């Protein structure tokens, strides 16, 4: 959408589940960031919809707590906040009620939302009520029939089902109201700046293009860890576990970006076609390809860190994994024989997300004849925290003796781009939705392919009640490896 189009169009953005943490801590701050940069259409209004009984003023106070001025000078911040909040309105109602969404429609008309205004519906709600909410929205005649002008678009957050069958059912039910073109399945990791930079890193740098294959790459690891436990979120997490919550979506998407073939263009269709193609070459996981863990209590500096099943929201007998390490392979020419490992865990030693690419040590290296072979080169893409790209190269320490030293070539975003504010993931993705750019959103066939990799092993784990290996809160995970 051009700047001219943005000025000429009106837009209503409805956040369903507006009183929840996702809406107040992520979505509304992202909308304010876009608003404060004048990136939204002039006639944009924001509507919160939820079951909580709130006045407009109470609703505005609730979201104000999380608004920060990242893009505006402090002297004008208060004015921007005031202008933004004046455009925020609240409607209380039941999620599955047509009458409640008709109340929303009435509120929109009262606030002079044009009948031809573009409409976005952000479902910041549990996935098990997506279908009911979509049906209520559709039955209240708030959805335009086609993704044309004016358009309607719906945003849904993962998890998209619990396995292939439930995912297909959700897709089928949502499609009764919103077309595939109108549906934006959001994965906020794809909005992170370093993840978006993967295509540039791979395909704009000639130094990497010829090396990005099994001839030169020994292994690739994707590592996600969080230094917190579930902290009262057991009602959600215990129904899904770490594989569904993190690996099958966030980390598999990163793997696809790292391993996909070069697209013929930067169109959404081309990029998503290449992602689907590489994911389709990953065979379903087997039990020998996976290690499961669950964190347990530990005393640290006289502070008792509670284990997973000690959380009051988790059943004492729960076997839900909070840690998983999976080994994948990609059956195509580029990646033949390269092992891919994805690790994710809660209550770990540190918080981090990174991709670690280890290159092969050249055979018959001349330095090996001296009794000390150089270590392999590594390329590390750090997604959070402290975004950056680092390459470990081998140097000689100055002096008469030949002593190898690994030196890091460092691109840290916080020092390299001091004149730029790095957008939050939700800011980038919401702007793409307004522009109609689906490059970073998950297509139906891509979702199906991802579930095909994990569904068999998830069913086996649950059927056989496989017990996860315990690991201490604050550690690096279970003290064993896959296949042990």
Active site residue ranges:
250
CB 170 within 8 A of CB 161: yes
Q: Which residue has the tokens 């994994």?
A: 321
Q: Which two tokens stand for residue 346?
A: 């809660």
Query: For the chain, how are helix, strand and coil distributed in percent, rounded to 5?
Result: 35, 25, 40
Task: Report DSSP state, residue 233.
Answer: -
CB 472 within 8 A of CB 298: yes
CA angle 281, 432, 356 (to 5 degrees): 45
Rounded-to-integer distance, Cα 294 and Cα 468, Å = 6
CB 247 within 8 A of CB 326: yes
| Element spanning 268, H or E | helix 268-279
Give the CA dihedral 457, 460, 465, 469, nearest 10 degrees: -30
Rounded-to-integer distance, Cα 447 and Cα 269, Å = 15
Q: Which residue has the tokens 């964190």?
A: 295
Task: Give CA separation, 479 vs 23, 109, 475, in Å.
Answer: 38, 60, 9
Half-sphere exposure of 199 (CA within 13 A, CB side): 22
Task: Report DSSP state, residue 216.
Answer: T
Rounded-to-integer distance, Cα 401 and Cα 28, Å = 59
Task: Give CA separation, 284 vs 264, 447, 452, 456, 474, in Å.
Answer: 28, 14, 6, 7, 31
CB 431 within 8 A of CB 264: no
Cα Rg for the chain, rounded, in angstroms?
24
Ordered alpha helix ranges (H), 12-116: 21-22, 28-36, 56-64, 74-85, 98-110
Q: Which two tokens stand for residue 25?
A: 């801590």
């Amino acid at each position: 959408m051009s700047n001219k189009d943005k000025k000429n169009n009106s837009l209503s953005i409805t956040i369903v589940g507006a009183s929840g943490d996702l809406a107040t801590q992520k979505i509304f701050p992202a909308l304010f960031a876009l608003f404060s940069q004048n990136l939204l259409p002039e006639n944009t209004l924001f509507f919160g919809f939820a079951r909580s009984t709130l006045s407009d003023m109470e609703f505005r106070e609730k979201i104000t707590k999380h608004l920060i001025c990242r893009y505006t000078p402090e002297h004008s911040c208060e004015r921007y906040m005031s202008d933004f909040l004046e455009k925020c309105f609240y409607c209380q109602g039941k999620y599955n009620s047509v009458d409640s969404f008709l109340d929303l429609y009435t509120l929109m008309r009262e606030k002079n939302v044009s009948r031809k205004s573009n409409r976005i519906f952000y479902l910041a709600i549990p996935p098990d009520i997506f279908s009911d909410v979509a049906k209520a929205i559709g039955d209240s005649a708030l959805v335009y029939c086609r993704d044309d002008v004016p358009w309607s678009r719906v945003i849904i957050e993962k998890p998209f089902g619990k396995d292939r069958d439930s995912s297909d059912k959700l897709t089928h039910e949502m499609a009764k109201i919103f077309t595939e073109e109108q549906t934006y399945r959001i994965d906020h990791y794809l909005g992170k700046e370093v993840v978006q930079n993967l295509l540039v890193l791979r395909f704009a740098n000639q130094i990497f293009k010829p090396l990005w294959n099994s001839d030169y790459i020994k292994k690739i690891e994707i590592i996600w860890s969080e230094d917190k436990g579930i902290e009262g979120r057991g009602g959600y997490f215990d129904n899904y576990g770490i594989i569904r919550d993190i690996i099958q979506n966030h980390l598999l998407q990163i793997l696809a970006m790292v391993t996909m073939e070069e697209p013929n263009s930067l169109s959404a269709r081309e990029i998503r076609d290449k992602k689907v193609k590489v994911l389709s070459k990953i065979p379903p996981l087997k039990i020998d390809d996976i290690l499961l863990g669950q964190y347990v209590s530990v005393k640290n500096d006289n502070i008792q860190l509670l284990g997973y099943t000690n959380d009051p929201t988790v059943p004492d007998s729960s076997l839900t994994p909070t840690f998983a390490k999976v080994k994948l392979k990609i059956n195509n020419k580029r990646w033949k024989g390269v092992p891919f490992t994805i690790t994710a865990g809660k209550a770990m030693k540190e918080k981090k997300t990174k991709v670690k690419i280890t290159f092969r040590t050249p055979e018959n290296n001349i330095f090996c004849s001296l009794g000390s072979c150089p270590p392999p080169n590594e390329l590390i893409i750090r997604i959070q925290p402290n975004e950056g790209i680092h390459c470990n190269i081998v140097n000689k320490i100055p002096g008469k003796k030949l002593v190898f030293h690994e030196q890091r070539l460092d691109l840290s975003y916080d020092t390299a781009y001091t004149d730029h504010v790095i957008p939050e993931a939700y800011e980038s993705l919401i702007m793409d939705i307004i522009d109609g750019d689906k490059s970073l959103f998950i297509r139906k066939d891509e979702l199906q392919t991802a579930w095909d990799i994990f569904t068999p092993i998830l069913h086996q784990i649950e059927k056989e009640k496989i017990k996860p290996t315990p690991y201490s809160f604050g550690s690096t995970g279970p003290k064993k490896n896959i296949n042990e």
